[in-house]
Amino acid sequence: MNKSKTMKRIYLPLLGLLLLQSCSSDLLNTSPESTKVTANFYIDQAQLEQGVNAVYATLQYSGQYQLAMLAIGEIPSDNTYDEVPANDSFTYGEFDFFTIQSNNSLLGSTWKDNYVGIQQANIVLNRIEGITMDQSLKNTRIGEMKFLRALMYFNLVRTFGDVPLVTKETTDVNEYFGQGRTSVETVYNFIETELKSAVDLLPAVASQKGRVSKGAALGILGKVLMTRNKYPEALPYLQQIEPLGYSLLPDVTKIFDPSNKNNAEIIFDVQFTSGLSGNTEGSQAYQMFSPSGFVSGAKGHNLPTKEVYNIFASGDSRRNAFIGLTPSGVPYSKKLVKTSDAVADGGSNVVVLRLADVYLLMAECYAKANDFSNSNLYLNKIKTRAGLNPVNFTDQQQLTDEIALERRKELVGEGHRWFDLVRTGKAVTVMTAHFQNTPGYNTAVIKDYNLLMPVPQGQINTDPAIKQNPGY
């Protein structure tokens, strides 16, 4: 196969792809569009809006929030495991035992699908200034694109480390061929700058469900800063979210109820809907992440561990709200719900950010600043909602440990636990203990290099300037 064909097949991040697929009808109520030639497109506002929709649509891809971010954010941790590794050629089982290969198809999709979205966002941002439209709406669309592009880079950099940073529309792949990967520091600096710009451009309240709003930019920016150990900088952004009108739902069973989507606790989520457009708006997550045999056609990947089920106190309302047990005692997530007779056409939205996550991030920032009063305050908002007694820790280590425990329970299955362990420096210690204490993991070993995933081998084969991460 010649080089040009190889580039097209593996979706180099620099390839000028324009995938104008319809976004969820929940989001924008648009019909599917055919692939357009970019040089002859984006001549008016209607076409620009289709381009914006296409960026949102990439969030639904398997390499983004349909499967990858839920699996990569949980399976390597002590929260979930792969019940049937033989299904799907051990793709998910590799994350469970840290035997991850550079030809892992889920990682290949993660790289590809994020760069498809990034390239589409680059095209919109490159073309939007030349479009005649209301300036306020134009600013909002610019803010949305900057946020989504930054979110995709955040997911790439915390998965792979150094990644190529492409910030303008690319029409010739050879323009970047041979330049290799951009340093983590540079990529994170770009992400911060983009999110700060998005905060200023986005509305406090999104005009349509599924759209990005100011709260989403503030929250992801706070999380990025905390990932970089910039706790004092993160807190002021996180503090601005609650006044925007979000609130915890009193009943935890309602947070992920498909009939209660886009509720007051949800700051940003990826929209999925069953039974539309030939099932193209649904998600495979329910099928992939349900127990084998319990749900017809289920694959048994990314199931909650018995360990995480057992850490919930008997009076904790979240245990039965978030995790169920099959008749044979296998835990499964209740955050993904069967919404269609077609098991691969799931209608559960995937939550990227909700207020409970933000409160626990704030509690962590306050703890780092030795502001124990406020740290306990925000920690207890989560505990008391779950039916637990409030706490009053005055020791920073005890407090941060309790916050980590609450994050583990509150956010189980949402794709945060692994990244929390990595950013707090606990991944190797926690997972080593987990393997020692869990039957069936006597051969599992985590090493420092496992904190990053391998770069997809196809990318390295196409451009040798893209080097593999150490250890792989």
For the chain (472 residues), the mean pLDDT of every run of 10, in chain order, is 31 37 34 45 90 96 98 98 95 97 98 97 95 96 98 98 93 79 98 98 94 98 98 98 98 96 97 78 94 94 98 96 97 94 92 98 98 98 98 98 98 98 98 97 97 97 96 97
CB burial readout 90-105, b (16+ within 10 A) else e: bbbbbbbbeebebebe
pTM higher than the cut 0.95: no
Six-digit token string for 457: 């081998």
Cα separation, 377 vs 397, in Å, equals 16
Cβ contact 79:417 at 8 Å: yes
Q: What is the pLDDT of residue 277?
A: 65
Strand locations in 61-122 (E): 80-81
How many alpha carbons fall within 13 Å on the CB side of residue 173? 18
Q: Which amino acid is at 52?
A: V
Strand locations in 66-119 (E): 80-81
Domain 1-212+433-451 part of CATH 1.25.40.390 = yes
Six-digit token string for 465: 């300037």
Task: Show me where the domains of the chain are located.
Answer: 1-212+433-451
Cα separation, 221 vs 431, in Å, equals 27
Residue 316 burial (C-beta neighbours within 10 Å; 0-12, 13-18, 19+): middle
Q: What angle do CA 229, 370, 448 make, to 5 degrees?
A: 35
Six-digit token string for 206: 């999104």
Q: What is the pLDDT of residue 94?
A: 97
